[in-house]
A = this chain, B = another copy of it.
Amino acid sequence: MYSQAAVSLTRSQAAPFAAAAEPAPTLRDLFKGQSAETLAAGEALFWEGDPAGQIFDVISGVLRVYRIMPDGRRAIMGFIHPGDVLGVSFQNRYLFTAEAVTEVKIRRFARSRFFGLINETPALRPQLFAILCDEMSAAQDQMLLLGRKNAEERVVSFLLSVHRKVGIGADIELPMSRLDMADYLGLTMETVSRMMTSLARRGLIALGARHTVTLRKLAALREIAGHDAEDEDIAAAPARRAVWPH
């Protein structure tokens, strides 16, 4: 579940590098030696405009990344989950703020060292490229959602994408607030709430404890979301192999 700036490597690194001379390192291996840090819910990891000095491996918890307009309007560009790498696609400065939604555990890595290793290690380059392509792909999905889907479609698309990313059976956890969802989906808190209620009333979902939702009729939900969303599992999986394009 992200539209931006972070991409799960659990899949992207799945490519077979058996042919390489030494055991091919994966990007996430780089973080192995780094010590873990903990952020409390609500704490910022970095701010829009900060010099982009580090990249981050998310071990646990969820973050939101967002930009704010001068008058206070907020647009959340994505939610960052465990397994995602955050802060890669910047040149000089971070272009959004990253903030913990829940308690979060991360590992840091200096960008200079990161790009030094990329430069020295051919096997890492397709993986970096894969991250950036996946980010773009997610951003495109989000532009389609924001530009052309109605409120219900947006909410359902969101639920399905969370389900795909971190769903356990038919249940999903939504650790973020309704306001976070609204700022991600280009809606208001109230509209999100109304859509959730409406979906529940029709038996498409069931609202459990606070942040838990059960997707009761996956097929119907996919129908509403309009292609993409969950089908991507099949459609996009091949594209996630981290092999240099050929």
Contact = CB atoms under 8 A, between A and B. Distances in A.
A92 B186 contact: no
Contact of A140 (B91, B96, B122): B96
Interface stretch (A128-136, A201-209, A212-220): A128-136
Interface stretch (A17-25, A100-108, A237-245): A237-245
**Which of under 10, 10 to 19, 20 to 34, or 35 or more describes the interface residues of A?**
35 or more
Given A69-B226, A69-B227, A244-B115, A90 B146 contact: no
A74 interface: yes
- Chain copies in the assembled complex: 2
A148 B182 CA distance: 10
Given A133-B89, A147-B186, A239-B93, A245 B139 contact: no
20 contacts: A4-B140, A67-B144, A69-B148, A69-B226, A70-B227, A71-B226, A75-B144, A75-B147, A91-B129, A91-B130, A96-B140, A114-B245, A119-B125, A129-B132, A132-B136, A143-B143, A143-B146, A146-B147, A146-B186, A148-B186
A9 interface: no
A137 B95 contact: yes
A210 interface: no
A149 to B, nearest CB: 8
A32 interface: no
Contact of A89 (B95, B96, B132, B241): B132
A119 B244 contact: yes
Interface in A111-160: 111-112, 114-115, 118-119, 122, 125, 129-130, 132-133, 135-137, 139-140, 142-144, 146-148
A95 B70 CA distance: 33
Given A4-B143, A75-B147, A132-B132, A245 B69 contact: no
Contacts of A133: 89-91
Contact of A245 (B5, B112, B122, B184): B112
A27 interface: no
B119 A119 contact: no
Nearest to A89: B136
A122 B130 CA distance: 18
